[in-house]
């Protein structure tokens, strides 16, 4: 065997293990945050909104592992309580756009013609505005709060899913098994949802994972701007916003909630990668 030929290929088991690793890490991170959001009240050492005037701006110590903020609230407890809200933001903020976008994309792609044209122009209109600007205007109209954020997210976020699914449907509806289904007398609803959608949806599921990261960050951004979760509720975005003015003197206030956002986002993207492999999106 020549030297040039023996390319140092990764052994099969290591590639397999590597693939498994992303799945395991992704699930582990998400389970950890899920645990925090469920058991948060039990494991958090302090009340997240209790203000201890004597312990203001304390650096991390044994009493306050992640330090305290300018109101003397324990950062660790607030981060733990925040998991509940941020996980909720990620899940609900993805679920509704996913459902709306998938339905619209399926119908537009399958029927084509005027239905497709109308929906796709709507998509173009929404995409013509910068994402956050549109979000903020909708929230501003509805009034600040988490509910408004979810509604804004559903109104704006579905477009990516609609486009993804529509493109897949356009390809799949020309496939032989779709033609076969028509020739066998299957109803349109059956062909759309039972035959084509399951084959079209894998890419969207994977995308929804990276979208969860995006939603989480926009949730944090909206809260940071004071339009989402309202103080004193512990939410990571709000905490980062509050810690901003102390960043040079009390770095821990903004750092730990920020790290939590990064961690949760990382978990979602790991799971997204692993799902992509499992569902055969990259094949």
- How many other C-beta atoms are found inside a 10 Å radius of the C-beta of residue 230? 13
Contact set for another protein, span 197-216 (CB under 8 A): 198-199
- Give the nearest distance from C-beta 114 to another protein in angstroms: 11
Stretch in the footprint of another protein (CB under 8 A) among 5-13, 97-105, 214-222, 263-271: 5-13
- Give the nearest distance from C-beta 18 to another protein in angstroms: 15
Q: By C-alpha distance, which of 130, 132, 139 is closest to 228?
A: 139
For another protein, which residue of 177, 244, 251, 278 counts as binding (CB under 8 A)?
177
**7 binds another protein, rule: CB under 8 A:** yes
- How many other C-beta atoms are found inside a 10 Å radius of the C-beta of residue 99? 13
Element (H, E) at 224: helix 202-224
For another protein, which residue of 175, 230, 244, 245 counts as binding (CB under 8 A)?
175
**111 binds another protein, rule: CB under 8 A:** no
Stretch in the footprint of another protein (CB under 8 A) among 132-140, 181-189, 250-258, 263-271: 181-189
For another protein, which residue of 24, 91, 141, 182 counts as binding (CB under 8 A)?
182
Q: How far apart are CA 171 and CA 85, in angstroms?
A: 39
Nearer to another protein, 24 or 179 (CB): 179
Angle in degrees, CA 154, 266, 28, rounded to 5? 105
Q: How far apart are CA 78 and CA 7, in angstroms?
A: 51
Q: Looking at the DSSP assignment, which residues form a beta bridge with residue 68? A: 74
- Give the nearest distance from C-beta 30 to another protein in angstroms: 26
Query: What contacts 154, CB < 8 A, 6 or more positions away?
Result: 96, 97, 100
Which residues sit at the interface with another protein, rule CB under 8 A? Answer: 1-7, 9, 11-13, 173-177, 179-187, 190, 194-195, 198-199
């Amino acid at each position: 065997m020549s030297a040039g030929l023996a390319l140092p290929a990764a052994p099969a088991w290591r590639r397999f293990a590597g693939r498994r690793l992303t799945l395991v890490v992704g699930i582990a991170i998400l389970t950890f945050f899920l645990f925090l959001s469920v058991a948060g009240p039990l494991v958090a050492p302090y009340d997240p909104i209790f203000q201890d005037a004597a312990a203001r701006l304390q650096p991390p110590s044994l009493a306050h592992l992640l330090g305290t903020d300018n109101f003397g609230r324990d950062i660790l407890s607030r981060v733990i309580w925040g998991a509940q809200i941020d996980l909720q933001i990620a899940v609900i903020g993805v679920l509704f756009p996913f459902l709306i976008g998938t339905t619209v994309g399926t119908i537009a792609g399958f029927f084509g013609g005027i239905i497709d044209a109308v929906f796709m122009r709507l998509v173009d209109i929404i995409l013509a505005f910068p994402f956050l600007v549109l979000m903020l205007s909708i929230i501003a109209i509805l009034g600040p709060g988490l509910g408004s954020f979810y509604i804004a997210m559903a109104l704006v976020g579905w477009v990516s899913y609609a486009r993804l699914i529509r493109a897949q449907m356009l390809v799949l509806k020309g496939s032989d098994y779709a033609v076969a289904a028509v020739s066998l007398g299957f109803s349109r609803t059956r062909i759309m949802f039972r035959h084509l959608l399951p084959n079209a949806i894998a890419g969207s599921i994977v995308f929804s994972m990276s979208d969860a990261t995006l939603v989480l960050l926009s949730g944090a951004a909206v809260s940071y701007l004071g339009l989402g979760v309202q103080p004193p509720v512990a939410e990571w975005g709000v905490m980062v916003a509050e810690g901003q003015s102390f960043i040079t003197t009390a770095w821990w206030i903004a750092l730990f909630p920020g790290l939590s956002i990064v961690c949760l986002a990382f978990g979602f993207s790991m799971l997204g990668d692993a799902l992509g492999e499992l569902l055969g999106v990259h094949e």
